[in-house]
Amino acid sequence: MKAIVTGGAGFIGSRVAEVLVERGHEVLVLDDLSGGFVENVPEGARFVEASVNANLQPIFDGFRPDYVYHLAAYAAEGLSHHIPLFNYTNNLTGTANVLAAAYRAGAAHFVFTSSIAAYGHPHTSEPFREEDHCVPADPYGVAKLACENHIHAFRDYYGRPDFTIFRPHNVYGPSQNISDPFRNVVGIFMARALRGEPLPLFGDGSQTRSFSYVRSVASCIASAPFVEAAKNETFNVGGDQPTSVRDLAHAIGRVLDLPVQLQFLPERKEVKHAHSSHEKLKRVFGAESEDIALEDGLQRMAAYVKGHPIPPATPCPSPVEIEDGLPPSWKHWMGTPVPAKQAA
């Protein structure tokens, strides 16, 4: 079987491509390398450098994929408030372009990686469930939910391709880009700890997330077209262990065996507590959906990070469109240093 993986040089996408290659599929990775690295592309996969907003039809028609896995996206949720046009162009317009190319090339199944950001703020104390009403709180979540709606409407109108939508959250693990100052808190903390710098916390660091080890997330995504009960369904995917950002910082100090200093920054507008139920995922994907304990996953990521040089900081991918409310610490990365209070 043939599969195209967009964003396949990125963190999760490269792991999905890796699983597909391991299982004997013919894989073409498509990535513009704006956030990924060509060395992430697994051995045995073909690579084409291209944007999801380019004319993809010659690539898709030449390869004739049976399945398309669409993971290309710019996933800095908080930053999306300040680059909304860039966000919508890369996420919503790009998805529409990839889906149309997949349809015209005859693909039978379209797998889309959405986000927990589609839910927005929780309305109850319970974890998010797939049937919950979604009210996204930022342009990134708005774009992801709009993509989901477009995929549903596309199949209703044209009758194909079948689809599976995943809503992952806070994915981490080996080969993650640890030099993007705007996203991936685990990577940000590890990079700063290794440089002997304080770990930045917005507010008091009591906001909680359930961090998700990449392998189980990628494995479920890769399996979707081959699981009948996953056809035309949406799934939360990820970890079940709620952890505060402050506790995460200390856990990273332990796995790196380094002292950590915390840097408290002004609170920003964000979802305070975001967690998902994975009952549906476990029912359909079984043992494949099982996550590993957070400190075990952090140990594996730390071992990888220690063996690889820290790359240069990843720049903001677009000129800031709306500066109001931009966290001062992010202005530092855009050339405007702002001092912050520090605490042990």
Q: Which of these, 192, 193, 191, 243, lies nearest to 213 by C-alpha position?
A: 243
pLDDT score recorded for residue 310? 83
Q: Is 140 a catalytic residue?
A: yes
For the chain, what is the mean pLDDT?
93
Average pLDDT over residues 106-122: 97
pLDDT on residue 261: 94
Q: Given this chain, do its domains 2-172+213-237 and 185-209+244-271+295-343 carry the same CATH topology?
A: no
- Backbone φ/ψ region at 273: left (φ over 0), alpha (ψ -120 to 50), beta: beta
Domain made up of 2-172+213-237: CATH architecture: 3-Layer(aba) Sandwich (3.40)
* 260 C-beta neighbours (distance < 10 Å), count: 19
pLDDT, tens digit, for every residue of 288-314?
999 999 999 999 999 999 998 888 888
| DSSP-based helix, strand, coil % in the chain, nearest 5 | 40, 20, 40
pLDDT band at 235; cut points 50, 70, 90:
very high
More confident site: 196 or 343:
196
- Does residue 344 surpass a pLDDT of 70? no
Residue 50's pLDDT band, with cuts at 50, 70 and 90, is: very high
- Of 132-141, 187-196, 262-271, the poorest mean pLDDT is in 262-271
For 63-111, what is each residue's pLDDT tens digit? 999 999 999 998 889 999 999 999 999 999 999 999 999 999 999 999 9
CATH superfamily of 185-209+244-271+295-343: UDP-galactose 4-epimerase, domain 1 (3.90.25.10)
Burial grade of 100 (CB within 10 A; 0-12, 13-18, 19 or more)? middle
Reported confidence tier of residue 61, pLDDT bands at 50, 70, 90: very high
pLDDT at residue 340 above 60?
no
pLDDT of 243: 97
Which of 67, 74, 103, 140 is catalytic? The answer is 140
Q: Where are the domains of the chain?
A: 2-172+213-237, 185-209+244-271+295-343
pTM score, whole prediction: 0.94
For the cut 60, the answer to whether the pLDDT of residue 287 exceeds it is yes
Average pLDDT over residues 278-297: 96
Picking from 82, 107, 6, 87, the residue whose alpha carbon sits closest to that of residue 47 is: 6
CA 335 vs CA 90, 110, 315: distances in Å = 24, 40, 11
Q: For the ranges 19-23, 37-41, 333-337, which has the lowest average pLDDT?
A: 333-337
